[in-house]
Chain A
């Protein structure tokens, strides 16, 4: 019987099935960060357990770390304690920790692929909902809670229930100025924030095949905003070319064996999906959210709807039903996060910012997703483009995507953001977030208003 990519990944990791339909699933990779693991380690201590396979674990601090003055002591004592607790826990349990001041630090979902820790065909989990990112490699990756982090460390397994399958096919070629972020937001707008609950999404179609690994990661990253813990893209030559030059990827004969296996992973012809969605990629315009859920999203040329269910959201956001979303004045801009903090994102933003100035009254931040992204951007001179335009150029971390590191917006501030959630208070209590692509954020920062990147003067 023809199988989907998800079926193949699942079947390859079944330790056993119980009589109630649950599967004890083997976990190949576990990423740790400082926020979701203190209680997991505490659980291991209480149970008197060691980490079963330390070699399958990799830790880094990203959520609560300052994005300036790296190398200086962390100012906020609670953040400092949280980061040093992660260091101590990793030392006590023999887990590799990528130091805050080392070259390899960055956001978990950016550094793991860079390191070749993320591989096609693996199961990968992390106490972070954006773990769906790694599905871009054809890995079965999903976010878990802190208790589950402890269970994974202690047993290398998790009880899971097989998800239903959903294939989202993006046909055609996207317009100039339209990115993976716009594809993701267009999908979420169509199916809703709970549209894929209980499903594993496989992204397919010409417009997905044409995406770089960075773009595929952006797409899979946002699967959780449609309610799906898992987004997948079948591995292909683009994937293999990315993976093979990574330090932790298999080498030599091992690489050949792995590659032979990875080539068997794509969904079989005739594989059946529980749901099929087709989207004409060529018809997607740049997307902007107007409310406080990622499915409250518009094409840049649309007007804010008078939807009664969004009433509270419109009040919170300070936007008027019946007015165009384009032209809304912003006072902050954020480029970064596990969604859009990779080199391609910074290139897209820098291409808009080159030779321009951030609008008066707008504060604009660029936070690279990792040390490697930062160095690459600097070697290409992108940092100089941003600095000359009046953007701040920061050190890697989650920063204004989750606003728990000191980068936080004041009450009422309106921000054009490349991050993944426009939830109430996400960037600071009372702050208003409009999600969009890196190029769209750069354009908003330059003009001081949300605008259509396709009409940006050169």
Chain B
């Protein structure tokens, strides 16, 4: 996974609430089995809407996306963050997120950040005004031109993985294989019916 430490650049404002992952990545493109090159499908059916910040022929966007509440709700499709990543979006800021989408972002070198409604409203204004944005994940700080620096919360495990670009699967295997074996031994004794599968 590509690490995320500092990100600087412009921001795109998309204030609609409940922008679901079907809007971010329409289902018919789910037949594609790759994860690269999906940026052109991001918001595919929304791009014609008046005032939508990405035009139909564009395949890149600023690194910051300021979104409306419940962004990324609905389907678990990881194509949603892959498509946003394909546009070059690294940091997404909203009042709230769909939980599966939120989790998927961290698996792909992207940082979702929560702020309260009043702060997000100001960030939309700054994005529209073309102010520059900068995030420093190490210090958990967002700096926006014309605003005082803001501190944000991120779970320590997610922060560490993003800063280092760690693969979660490799980390769990390297650090916790013994813990998993220990758990399995105990479960096999306590709940043997879970260990009767065909290949077990």
Interface string of B42-78 (1 = CB under 8 A from A): 0001100000000000000000000001100111111
The answer to whether B73 touches A257, judged by C-beta atoms less than 8 angstroms apart, is no
Q: What is the minimal beta-carbon distance from A277 to any residue of chain B, in angstroms?
A: 19
User: Counting chain A CB atoms within 10 Å of each CB, which of B18, B191, B198 scores highest?
Assistant: B18
- Chain A residues close to B by CB (< 8 Å): 15-16, 18-22, 24, 26, 28, 35-36, 38-39, 42-43, 47, 49, 53-56, 63-64, 76, 78-79, 81-82, 85, 94, 96, 119, 121-122, 127-129, 143-148, 150-151, 154-157, 159, 161, 193-194, 197-198, 224, 227, 229, 250, 254-255, 257-258, 261, 293, 309, 312, 402-404, 408, 421, 423-426, 429
Assembled-state Cα–Cα distance A327/B17 (Å): 29
Q: What is the minimal beta-carbon distance from A64 to any residue of chain B, in angstroms?
A: 6
User: Is B118 in contact with chain A by the CB < 8 A criterion?
Assistant: no
Interface size class of B (residues with CB under 8 A): 35 or more
The answer to whether A129 touches B100, judged by C-beta atoms less than 8 angstroms apart, is yes
User: Is B88 in contact with chain A by the CB < 8 A criterion?
Assistant: no
Chain A residues with CB under 8 Å of B200's CB are: 53, 55
* CB contact under 8 A between A47 and B170, given known A78-B32, A403-B28: yes
User: Counting chain B CB atoms within 10 Å of each CB, which of A47, A127, A197 scores highest?
Assistant: A197
Assembled-state Cα–Cα distance A128/B100 (Å): 10
How many residue pairs, one in A and one in B, have C-beta atoms under 8 Å apart? 188
The answer to whether A145 touches B198, judged by C-beta atoms less than 8 angstroms apart, is no
The answer to whether A194 touches B156, judged by C-beta atoms less than 8 angstroms apart, is no
Selected A-B contacts with CB under 8 Å, 22 pairs = A15-B183, A16-B179, A22-B155, A22-B157, A36-B76, A39-B33, A39-B34, A55-B198, A78-B32, A79-B31, A121-B191, A128-B76, A154-B172, A159-B157, A159-B168, A193-B18, A198-B99, A250-B193, A254-B196, A312-B16, A424-B22, A429-B45
Q: What is the minimal beta-carbon distance from A244 to any residue of chain B, in angstroms?
A: 12
The closest CB in chain A to the CB of B161 belongs to: A159
The answer to whether B197 touches A55, judged by C-beta atoms less than 8 angstroms apart, is yes
Chain B residues with CB under 8 Å of A39's CB are: 33-35, 78
A24, A121, A194: the one within 8 Å of B73 (CB): A194
Assembled-state Cα–Cα distance A94/B200 (Å): 12
Q: What is the minimal beta-carbon distance from A230 to any residue of chain B, in angstroms?
A: 10
Which residues of B115-169 have CB atoms within 8 Å of chain A's CB atoms? 155-157, 167-169
* CB contact under 8 A between A55 and B199, given known A24-B176, A64-B30: yes
The answer to whether A155 touches B30, judged by C-beta atoms less than 8 angstroms apart, is no
The answer to whether A425 touches B33, judged by C-beta atoms less than 8 angstroms apart, is no
Chain B residues with CB under 8 Å of A426's CB are: 22, 27
The closest CB in chain A to the CB of B16 belongs to: A312
* CB contact under 8 A between A82 and B20, given known A20-B155, A250-B196: no
User: Counting chain A CB atoms within 10 Å of each CB, which of B16, B28, B73, B76 scores highest?
Assistant: B76
User: Counting chain B CB atoms within 10 Å of each CB, which of A119, A128, A146 scores highest?
Assistant: A146
Q: What is the minimal beta-carbon distance from B196 to any residue of chain A, in angstroms?
A: 7
The answer to whether A144 touches B100, judged by C-beta atoms less than 8 angstroms apart, is yes
The answer to whether B27 touches A143, judged by C-beta atoms less than 8 angstroms apart, is no
Q: What is the minimal beta-carbon distance from A179 to any residue of chain B, in angstroms?
A: 23
Which residues of B1-43 have CB atoms within 8 Å of chain A's CB atoms? 16-18, 20, 22-23, 26-28, 30-35
The answer to whether A15 touches B179, judged by C-beta atoms less than 8 angstroms apart, is yes
The answer to whether A47 touches B78, judged by C-beta atoms less than 8 angstroms apart, is no
* CB contact under 8 A between A145 and B173, given known A76-B31, A227-B99: no
Chain B residues with CB under 8 Å of A258's CB are: 191, 193
The answer to whether A78 touches B193, judged by C-beta atoms less than 8 angstroms apart, is no
Chain A residues with CB under 8 Å of B107's CB are: 145, 147-148
Chain B residues with CB under 8 Å of A22's CB are: 155, 157
* CB contact under 8 A between A154 and B76, given known A26-B183, A254-B192: no
A145, A309, A423: the one within 8 Å of B103 (CB): A145
The answer to whether A257 touches B23, judged by C-beta atoms less than 8 angstroms apart, is no
Q: What is the minimal beta-carbon distance from A264 to any residue of chain B, in angstroms?
A: 12
Assembled-state Cα–Cα distance A224/B100 (Å): 10
Closest 6 CB pairs of A and B: A55-B197, A20-B156, A250-B193, A147-B107, A145-B104, A38-B33
The closest CB in chain B to the CB of A129 belongs to: B76
The answer to whether A423 touches B99, judged by C-beta atoms less than 8 angstroms apart, is no
Q: What is the minimal beta-carbon distance from B186 to any residue of chain A, in angstroms?
A: 10
B30, B169, B183: the one within 8 Å of A150 (CB): B169
The closest CB in chain A to the CB of B35 belongs to: A39
Chain A residues with CB under 8 Å of B26's CB are: 425, 429
A76, A143, A155: the one within 8 Å of B100 (CB): A143
Q: What is the minimal beta-carbon distance from A246 to any residue of chain B, in angstroms?
A: 13
Q: What is the minimal beta-carbon distance from A326 to any residue of chain B, in angstroms?
A: 25
The answer to whether A155 touches B169, judged by C-beta atoms less than 8 angstroms apart, is yes
Q: What is the minimal beta-carbon distance from A296 to any residue of chain B, in angstroms?
A: 9
B69, B81, B193: the one within 8 Å of A194 (CB): B69
